[in-house]
Amino acid sequence: MRSSTPHAVTGLQFVCFCLLLLFFPGCLLRAQSSPVPGFIHDGVLNVCTNPTLPPMTFMKHAGGDTDMPSGVDIDLARALAGYWHVRLEVSSMDFVGLFPSLVAGRCGLVASGVTRLPSRERSFDAVPYLDTALVVVAPATTPPIDRMSDLSGRRIAVQAGTSYTAMVEHLNEQLVAQHRAPIEIQQYPTEENVVQQVLLGRDFAFISQDVEIYFRQKQLHGRVHVILRTDDTDYRQFALYMRKDAQDHEALRHAIAVLSANGQINAIARRWSINPVGATDLTAGPVITFAWGDFFRALASGAFLRGAGVTLLLALASHVTAIIISIPIALRLGGKPGPVRALLGLYIYIFRAVPTLLQLLFVWNALPQFCPIFREAWFSPFLAAWISLSLNESAYQAEINRSALVAVDAGQIAAARALGMGTGQTYRHVVFPQALRIALPPTLNDFITLLKTTSLASVISLHELLSVAQVEVARSFEFSEYYAAALVYYLLMVLFFIMLQKIMEHRLGWPIHGAGAHER
Amino acid sequence: MNVDSDPVMVPRPIVVAARALCRKRGEMYLLDNINLDILKGEKIAVLGPSGAGKSTLIRCFNQTEVHDSGTLSIDGQVIDRTTDLVKLRGMVGLVFQTYHLFPHLSVLDNCTLAPRLVRDMPLMQARALALGFLEQVGISEQAEMYPHQLSGGQQQRVAIARALCMQPRIMLFDEPTAALDPEAIRGVMNIINELCAAGITAIFVTHEMGFARHVADRIVFMDRGRILETTPATSFFEAPRSTRARIFLDRMLCL
C-alpha cells in the first residue's frame, strides 16, 4: 500500500514525459518551416465560436444537418485558413466557455462576434476586422432615447459573459452618484433569450451590436427597432481574439490587412447583408401563433433525434461507469475506519458539494492547463462530459449502494457462512442480488436526474438535446415550438425508464420485509 | 421416550468434545471453562436463562463463533485457526431461529445454492439431492415457491432441508421452535427424531421445556457462561441437581 504511491507518481510523470517527447518534434518543425502563426497546430486552424449571434456566427440551416455554423465570423475564419493554406475546424460552445477554451489551448482563435475592448486586450491579443456600433433595441412601439442614461430605472437584458454588463454597471455608478435610479440588468445565456425577454415585454430593451439587428429584422418582422445608437468608442469594432504572442499577433494583423485589401472582407460583409437598409424597414409584426408544422418537423428532424441520442448515450455511459466505480467504494465504506475510508468519504464529499456545472467546466477548461494531453483532439466534449458526470454520479451512487448493502439483513451473511460459502460467493450470490433489489428504485431515480443533468454539457459544446433546441431557436426565433419539441423528447425518454423500473421491480419482486417474517 | 436405537451396546463415538472452552468479550466470559462430550446420534437440548451463553456455545461448534482458549474436537479433529472452515461447516449444519432463507431464491434454489457453490455439485444432482430432503421434511410440493409465500413452519422446514443438503453429521438448531405454533413444533420434533435415527447428532438451544423434554436425550443446563449440569432429560425435569436449574424450572413452569 505505502510503496505504491511513489510508483504511481513516477508512472504519471513518465506518461507526461513521453507526451512531451511527442510534442517537441512538432514544435521544432513549426518554428523552422513556415510563417504560419503559432496557434495553428498540425495544419489545423481551430476556431471557437458561440453560434447564437446572427449574422456573425449562427446555425443557418434548419435541422442542423451540418454541424458547421455559418456567418461572417465563420467565413472570415475560412478565408484566414485559406490564406495560410491550413484546414479549418470550428468548435461550437457556450459563450462563457469561449475565453477559457482559448486559455486552455483548445482553439487558436475566438471568432464569435466579440467586440474589441481594452479590458479584454489586457489578457488577450485582439485584431479588429469589422466596424460596428453598440445599439439599444426595444419593441417597435418604444420611442427613441437620446443617451444611455435615459435607461435609468429600466430593466434591460444582456447576454451573459459579454462585456455589456460591466459597461452598464459602470454607468450605474454614475447614475447613483447623480441620485438617479440605476439600470437593472438581467443576464441570459444566449442572445435569442435576450431578444425574447424584450419581445415578451419582460424587459424594457436589450443591448446588442447594429449588425445583429440588421439581420434580426428579417427574423422578427419589424417587431423591434433601434432606440439608441451610441458612439461609444469601446464597441466600435469586432475583433478576433488570440492568446498573447507578439509574433502571432503581427501575423494575424497582416493576414487581416491582406484580406481587407483584396476585398474579401467586404465581400463577406455584403454576403450577410450588413448594411443599415433593413433598419428602416419597420412594419407591424404578425400575431404570434404556435407553428405546429415546425413543431412536428422538429420532432421528426435528424438533429433532435441525434441530440436525444447524445443525451441518452451520455447518461447511460456515465451511469454505468458510475455504478462500476461506486461498488468498491460502497463496500469499503461499510468496512473498518481508516485512512482509505476517510479518503473515500472526502471523494464523495467533494463530488456532492461542487456544482455539476462547475465540475464540467473544470474538467473541460482547467484540466488542459495542468496536463497538456487534455488539449488534444481525442479529448472530446463527450469524453469530458462522460468523465465528469461519471465521477459526479459515482458519489451519489456510492451512497445508494452503501445503504443498500447495509439494508441487507446481517443474518443472510451468517446463513451463507454457516453453509460454508466463502466471502466472494456470499456477496455474489446472496448479498448483491438483495442489495440490487433495494438499490434499484433510487438508482433509476438518480438516472432520470442524470439524464436531465446532461443538458449542462452544452456549456462545453456538446450537442445534446437542449443545445440542439437552443441552436434551432437562435436560427428561427420559434421558442415555443422548439422548446416543446425538446420537452416531448425528455418526457418520452423518462417515461421509458419509469416503465423499465416498474418491469424490473416486478421481475425482482419479493417483499423486502417478507422473508424471515414470523407470521404469514 | 425415544428408545436407544442401537441394539448392540457398542460404545458410540464422541462427535463433539469440548475441554476448558472459553470465549471472552472484554472482561466478560461468554463461555467459561466448558467441558462437554456429545455422542454420535445423541439429541442434546441446551437450556438456561437468556444470556447464559447457549447460542455462543453451539455456534462455536461450526466456528461461526470462535473460542479464545481451550480445545474443541469435532468428529475427532481438533478445531483451531488452521481448520478448513468450509469442510467443518459442511459437517456441522446450523439452523437459525429466524431461518434466514434467501428471499431472492426459490425454495429449491435455496437448497441447491451451497452444494453447487461449495461442493461444485452439478445442477441436476443438487436438485435431486434437495428434492429428497424437501420430501423428507414434507415440503417438496412448495419447491418452486419463494420464501415469502410460505408460513413460518414451512420456512423452518426449508431452512432444515437447506442445511441437510450439505449432508452434515451434526445439526445445530438455534431456538428452532421460538416462532412456531404447536402444530409446527410437533413437525420439527418429528424431523429431529428422524434425523437422529439416521445417525445425525442434533444439538438445540430452546426455551420450550415441553419440546426439550420430549425430544432430548440429555439436557445441558447453562448459566453465566458455565455448564451447571448435564443430565438425562427425564431426571432433569423431575429432579434437577443444581439449585439454579430448579429455580429456573419452577419459574418456567409457573409463569
In a domain, A516, yes or no: no
What's the pTM value of the predicted model, to 2 decimals? 0.71
Comparing CB atoms, the residue among B64, B113, B152 nearest residue A429 is B113
Residue B123 has pLDDT above 80, yes or no: yes
CA–CA gap between residue A122 and residue A97 (Å, rounded): 18
In a domain, A519, yes or no: no
In a domain, B105, yes or no: yes
Judged by DSSP in three states, B36 sits in: strand
Residue A486 shares a structural domain with residue A404: yes
Query: Smallest Cα–Cα separation from A400: which of A297, A335, A338, A327?
Result: A327
Do the chains contact at B147 and A516, CB–CB below 8 Å? yes
- Give per-residue pLDDT as tens, B19-67: 999 999 888 899 999 999 999 999 999 999 988 999 999 999 989 889 9
Q: How many domains does chain A have?
A: 4
pLDDT-derived band at A33 (thresholds 50, 70, 90) equals very low
Q: pLDDT > 90: what percent of chain A?
A: 38
Q: Which domain holds residue A58?
A: 34-130+237-288
In a domain, B190, yes or no: yes
Confirm or reject contact between B89 and chain A (CB < 8 A): yes
Comparing CB atoms, the residue among A412, A421, A514 nearest residue B100 is A412
In a domain, A477, yes or no: yes
Residue A243 shares a structural domain with residue A336: no
Residue A421 shares a structural domain with residue A483: yes
pLDDT-derived band at B255 (thresholds 50, 70, 90) equals low
- By mean pLDDT, which of A102-116, A269-283, A314-328, B122-136 is the weakest? A269-283
Greatest mean pLDDT range, A23-27, A186-190, A367-371, B24-28: B24-28
> What is the predicted pLDDT for the residue at A487?
95
CA–CA gap between residue A303 and residue A307 (Å, rounded): 6
pLDDT-derived band at A8 (thresholds 50, 70, 90) equals very low
Residue A406 shares a structural domain with residue A387: yes
Residue A239: which H helix or E strand, with range?
A: strand A237-243
CA–CA gap between residue B164 and residue B192 (Å, rounded): 11
Contact residues, chain B, for A429 at CB < 8 Å: 113, 117
Residue A487 shares a structural domain with residue A376: yes
CATH code, domain carrying B78: 3.40.50.300
- Give per-residue pLDDT as tens, B165-205: 999 999 999 988 887 888 888 888 889 999 898 889 999 99
Q: How many domains does chain B have?
A: 1
Average pLDDT, chain A: 83
Residue A352 shares a structural domain with residue A491: yes
Mean per-residue pLDDT for B65-85? 90
The grid coordinates of residue A391 equal 465521477
pLDDT-derived band at A61 (thresholds 50, 70, 90) equals low
- Give per-residue pLDDT as tens, A385-414: 999 999 999 999 999 999 999 999 999 999
Contact residues, chain B, for A517 at CB < 8 Å: 148, 152
Helices (H), A178-301: 191-200, 210-220, 246-261, 264-271, 292-300
Do the chains contact at B101 and A518, CB–CB below 8 Å? no
Final residue of a structural domain among A195, A214, A235 = A235
Residue A345 shares a structural domain with residue A302: yes
Residue A3 has pLDDT above 50, yes or no: no
- Give per-residue pLDDT as tens, A276-329: 544 444 344 445 578 888 899 889 988 899 999 999 999 999 999 999 999 999
- Give per-residue pLDDT as tens, A143-190: 999 888 888 989 999 888 778 888 888 889 999 999 999 999 888 877
In a domain, B204, yes or no: yes
pLDDT-derived band at A4 (thresholds 50, 70, 90) equals very low
Nearest CA in chain A to B149: A520
Confirm or reject contact between A430 and chain B (CB < 8 A): yes
Mean per-residue pLDDT for A331-360? 92
Comparing CB atoms, the residue among B87, B99, B118 nearest residue A421 is B118
Strand partners, B170: B92, B201
In a domain, A99, yes or no: yes
Residue A85: what are its φ and ψ, rounded to 5°?
60, 45
Alpha carbon of A501: minimum distance to chain B alpha carbons (Å): 18
Residue A112 shares a structural domain with residue A165: no
Kindly tell me the burial class for residue A116, based on how many C-beta atoms sit within 10 Å of its own C-beta (0-12, 13-18, 19 or more): buried
> What is the predicted pLDDT for the residue at A178?
92
Q: Which domain holds residue B184?
A: 14-253
Q: What is this model's ipTM?
A: 0.88
Nearest CA in chain B to A411: B100
Average pLDDT, chain B: 89
CATH code, domain carrying A304: 1.10.3720.10
In a domain, A150, yes or no: yes
Higher pLDDT, A290 or A253: A253
Confirm or reject contact between A409 and chain B (CB < 8 A): yes
pLDDT-derived band at A100 (thresholds 50, 70, 90) equals confident
pLDDT-derived band at B16 (thresholds 50, 70, 90) equals very high
Confirm or reject contact between B7 and chain A (CB < 8 A): no
Helix H, strand E, coil C: the string for A98-158 is HHHHHHCCCCCEECCCCECCHHHHCCEEEEEEEECCEEEEEECCCCCCCCHHHHCCCEEEE
Helices (H), B96-253: 107-119, 123-136, 152-164, 182-197, 209-215, 233-238, 243-253
Do the chains contact at A519 and B117, CB–CB below 8 Å? no
Query: Smallest Cα–Cα separation from B69: which of B103, B33, B36, B97?
Result: B33
Chains A, B: CB contacts under 8 A, how many? 89
In a domain, B211, yes or no: yes
Residue A372 shares a structural domain with residue A417: yes
Contact residues, chain A, for B64 at CB < 8 Å: 414, 417-418
In a domain, A331, yes or no: yes
> What is the predicted pLDDT for the residue at A491?
95
pLDDT-derived band at A69 (thresholds 50, 70, 90) equals confident
Residue B5 has pLDDT above 60, yes or no: no
pLDDT-derived band at B8 (thresholds 50, 70, 90) equals low
Residue B223: which H helix or E strand, with range?
A: strand B218-223
Strand partners, A206: A137, A157
In a domain, B59, yes or no: yes
Helix axes A264-271, A246-261, angle to 10 degrees: 70
Residue B122 has pLDDT above 90, yes or no: yes
